[in-house]
Homo-oligomer: A and B are copies of this chain.
Amino acid sequence: MQEAVQNILKKNQLSITGSRVRILELFLEQQGALAHGDIERRTGEKFDRVTVYRTLQVFLNKGIIHSIPTSDNSVLYALCKDDCGEGHHHDNHVHFVCDKCGNTLCLEDVTVPAIRLPKGYKFSQIQVIVNGRCKDCNRD
């Protein structure tokens, strides 16, 4: 774990600092997506709010995490497992928001389908957000 975290930071030419290590750990421990608020809480407010914002911004730029739009318009972030880099995101998967437990998951194996757009439209990116009941919340 420590290992993995350090590798990610080095690969992206980022200095190894407390907040970066801790926040990356959170993402690695967790399979779901995290909101800014989650991160503040789980770090026990050890880091300034501004630092968390800036750290997330850096991770986003470097392609370490990607952001996920949700229907209730909260900003969520999740690790990029595909090989994203500086300015180059290609997370081509569907996002699932569980209405019961509230978890948001990257369904890495479910790729976004092709969309037939009207004449004249050109797409650059397609996001699919599925709401429903997740695997865990469905067995009862």
Contact = CB atoms under 8 A, between A and B. Distances in A.
Interface of A: 67, 69-75, 94, 96, 99, 107, 109-110, 113-135, 138-139
28 contacts: A67-B73, A69-B70, A73-B73, A73-B74, A94-B115, A96-B121, A107-B117, A107-B121, A109-B118, A110-B115, A110-B116, A110-B117, A113-B113, A117-B132, A119-B135, A120-B135, A121-B130, A121-B132, A121-B134, A121-B135, A124-B133, A125-B130, A125-B131, A125-B132, A126-B128, A126-B129, A127-B129, A127-B130
Given A69-B70, A69-B71, A73-B67, A138 B121 contact: yes
A131 B134 CA distance: 27
A116 B72 CA distance: 23
Given A69-B70, A126-B128, A110 B120 contact: no
B135 A124 contact: no
A22 to B, nearest CB: 24
Contacts of A113: 113-115
Contacts of A115: 94, 110, 113, 128, 130
Contacts of A124: 99, 131-133
Contacts of A114: 113
